[in-house]
């Protein structure tokens, strides 16, 4: 799945992977829906025997012209009327009686909404597979680098130490939460749409609910309590789960771009021949995968907003709001699929540089550990005196480019205060060791890995 090309000028960036919500995918889904409806109608006794098979035989995407259907859509507001006409006309004379099964009882929105469920289901399966691969790489990094100490950074400045394993565990948890949401949507929120002109199935008489059940069975989609023509919660939930996934993937990509900066250089993407170059700077090795992920994920909030704003729909069928969902939903599926595909590749080949992490941490001369040292000094010196001593020593450290320990003992009064308090230089330097101030890091990593294992077991059931 990872690496499949979509084609086009930007397709390999924003349409990477196999999550397909293209016009071709929509056409296949519409035809599958029409064919399933014909079979359901026949099973309900509303069409001659063989009608379902006859319609199914001709409901092949290669028999239809998307361009022509699109041109006709401009006349009717959607492509279904033209599709139904073309489908009916393709029936051979020997199966002319099957025409009664084509589009029986349905309205255009029934076909398009149900097709949307089919397109989403197929795309979500691909996205979930790529997310599973990405999560697996995160779990491996969290395990391997559980004790690889690096600078924690808040507000883009070095803070207290963390480990790369903790960072990877955070990525893992975010991906797994996104997977859970997508899986919930995939298994519980996709459903058949079948309500007829105004949600009553009046044209089918008493057989309407039976046909809906049979249609659901044919497509392996649940049948909802009632048609949802103007209740767009399902569409919003799909879109929100996709946007949430992109938020998780975008955070990973942003971390990688920051950690891969020349001056930081704590991680780098795997080398791929021809990738990462600049049009004018031969030396460049840009983090292309991370950049492409961000290019995908930054488009999704606006698309989600469009889908959400379209949810206010009037009476029994909307004028325009429903129509406005089609492209944003398709783009959300495509962009999330692309981001997931890129992320799976990025994380599988991500190169981590522990010596560089150590060097960057050392370059701060122990200042990020001042909080830990304050915790050691406060019980014996008092909180205020400990704070004042460390504030002055930190200033000397920064000014003179020396370690915090050297800065403390460079001041005779500070050294005397510590000696009188029974604190040795060894005590001070122990408190300035990054490994001594990792708090619950190990436990948090273990929790993330355990939760990941539980999710894997659940999704395999």
The pair of three-digit structure tokens given for residue 277, joined into one six-digit string = 């170059």
pLDDT at 271: 81
One of 5, 60, 203, 278 is an active-site residue; which one?
278
**DSSP-based three-state secondary structure for 10:** coil
Which is it for strands 157-163 and 149-154: parallel, antiparallel or unpaired? antiparallel
Q: 247 and 330 in contact (C-beta within 8 Å)?
A: no
CB contact at 8 A, 34 and 84: yes
User: Token pair of 197, please?
Assistant: 């002109």
Please give the model's pTM, rounded to 2 decimal places. Answer: 0.94
**Strand, helix or coil at 150?**
strand
Length of the chain measured in residues: 461
Query: So what's the pLDDT on residue 281?
Result: 46
Question: Do 369 and 405 meet the contact criterion of CB atoms below 8 Å apart?
Answer: no
Q: Would you say 230 and 318 are in contact if contact means Cβ atoms under 8 Å apart?
A: yes
Q: Phi and psi at residue 408, in whole multiples of 5°?
A: -65, -50
For residues 412 and 420, the answer to whether their CB atoms sit within 8 Å is no
H helix or E strand, kind and range, residue 307? helix 300-309
Does residue 317 have an active-site annotation? yes
What count of other Cβ atoms lies within 10 Å of the Cβ of residue 363?
11
pLDDT of residue 461: 79
Taking alpha carbons only, the member of 145, 127, 147, 131 closest to residue 350 is: 145
Q: Which residues pair with 158 in a beta bridge?
A: 153
Q: How far apart are CA 170 and CA 226, in angstroms?
A: 40
Is the CB of residue 38 less than 8 Å from the CB of residue 32? no
> Is residue 133 helix, strand or coil?
helix
Distance of CA 276 to the CA centre of its chain: 24
CB 228 within 8 A of CB 234: yes
Q: Closest Cα to residue 436, out of 445, 449, 444, 426?
A: 426
Contacts of 459 (CB under 8 A, 6+ apart): 128, 132, 179, 183
pLDDT at 211: 98
Report which DSSP code applies to 325: G
342 C-beta neighbours (distance < 10 Å), count = 30
pLDDT value of residue 70: 95
Which residue's structure tokens are 């919500």?
Answer: 21
Instruction: Tally the C-alpha atoms within 13 A of residue 299's C-alpha that lie toward its C-beta.
Output: 21
90 assigned to active site: no
Q: Residue 276 has what pLDDT?
A: 55
Q: How does pLDDT run along the chain (461 residues), one tens digit per residue?
A: 455 556 688 988 899 999 999 999 999 999 999 999 999 999 999 999 999 999 999 999 999 999 999 999 999 999 999 999 999 999 999 888 999 999 999 999 999 999 999 999 999 999 999 999 999 999 999 999 999 999 999 999 999 999 999 999 999 999 999 999 999 999 999 999 999 999 999 999 999 999 999 999 999 999 999 999 999 999 999 999 999 999 999 999 999 999 999 999 999 999 876 555 544 444 557 899 999 999 999 999 999 999 999 999 999 999 999 999 999 999 999 999 999 999 999 999 999 999 999 999 999 999 999 999 999 999 999 999 999 999 999 999 999 999 999 999 999 999 999 999 999 999 999 999 999 999 999 999 999 999 999 999 999 87
> For the chain, give me the number of helices (H) and strands (E)?
19, 4
pLDDT at 1: 44
| Virtual torsion, Cα 130, 136, 142, 143, nearest 10 deg | -170
The catalytic residue among 317, 356, 396, 425 is 317
Distance CA 314, CA 230 (A): 7
- 43 vs 293: CA distance, rounded Å: 47
CATH T-level topology, domain 11-355: Fumarase C; Chain A, domain 2 (1.20.200)
Strands (E), 222-344: 267-268
**Where are the domains positioned within the chain?**
11-355, 367-431
> Which residues share a beta bridge with 268?
351
Q: Which of 307, 325, 437 is nearest to 376 (CA)?
A: 437
């Amino acid at each position: 799945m990872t690496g499949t090309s979509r084609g086009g000028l930007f397709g390999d960036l924003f349409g990477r992977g196999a999550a397909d919500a293209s016009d071709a995918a929509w056409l296949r889904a519409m035809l599958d829906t029409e064919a399933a409806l014909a079979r359901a109608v026949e099973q309900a006794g509303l069409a001659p025997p063989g009608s379902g098979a006859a319609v199914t035989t001709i409901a092949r995407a290669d028999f239809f012209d998307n361009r022509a259907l699109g041109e006709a859509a401009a006349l009717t507001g959607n492509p279904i009327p033209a599709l139904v006409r073309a489908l009916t006309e393709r029936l051979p004379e020997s199966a002319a009686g099957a025409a009664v099964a084509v589009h029986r009882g349905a309205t255009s929105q029934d076909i398009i909404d149900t097709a949307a469920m089919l397109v989403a289901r197929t795309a979500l399966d691909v996205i979930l597979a790529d997310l599973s691969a990405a999560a697996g790489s995160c779990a491996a990094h969290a395990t391997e680098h559980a004790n690889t100490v690096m600078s924690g950074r808040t507000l883009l400045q070095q803070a207290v130490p963390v480990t790369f394993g903790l960072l990877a565990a955070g990525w893992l948890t975010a991906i797994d939460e996104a997977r859970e949401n997508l899986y919930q949507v995939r298994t519980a929120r996709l459903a058949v749409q079948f309500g007829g002109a105004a949600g009553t199935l009046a044209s089918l008489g008493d057989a309407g609910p039976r046909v809906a059940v049979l249609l659901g069975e044919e497509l392996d989609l649940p049948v909802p309590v009632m048609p949802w023509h103007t209740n767009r919660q399902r569409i919003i939930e799909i879109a929100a789960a996709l946007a949430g996934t992109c938020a998780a993937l975008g955070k990973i990509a942003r971390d990688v771009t920051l950690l891969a900066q020349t001056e930081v250089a704590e991680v780098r993407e795997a080398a791929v021949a021809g990738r990462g170059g600049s049009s004018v700077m031969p030396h460049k090795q840009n983090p292309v995968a991370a950049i492409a992920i961000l290019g995908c994920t930054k488009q999704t909030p606006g698309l989600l907003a469009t889908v959400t704003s379209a949810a206010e729909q009037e009476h029994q069928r909307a004028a325009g709001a429903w129509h406005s969902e089609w492209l944003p939903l398709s783009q959300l599926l495509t962009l999330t699929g692309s981001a997931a595909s890129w992320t799976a590749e990025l994380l599988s080949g991500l190169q981590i540089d522990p010596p560089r992490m150590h060097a960057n941490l050392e370059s701060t001369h122990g200042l990020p550990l001042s909080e830990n040292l304050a915790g050691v000094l406060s019980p014996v010196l008092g909180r205020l005196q400990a704070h004042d001593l460390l504030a002055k020593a930190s200033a000397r450290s920064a000014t003179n480019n020396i370690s915090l320990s050297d800065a403390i003992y460079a001041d005779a009064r500070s050294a005397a205060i510590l000696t009188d308090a029974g604190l040795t230089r060894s005590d001070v330097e122990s408190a300035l060791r990054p490994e001594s101030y990792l708090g619950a890091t190990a436990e948090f990593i273990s929790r993330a890995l355990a939760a990941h294992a539980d999710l894997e077991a659940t999704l395999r059931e």
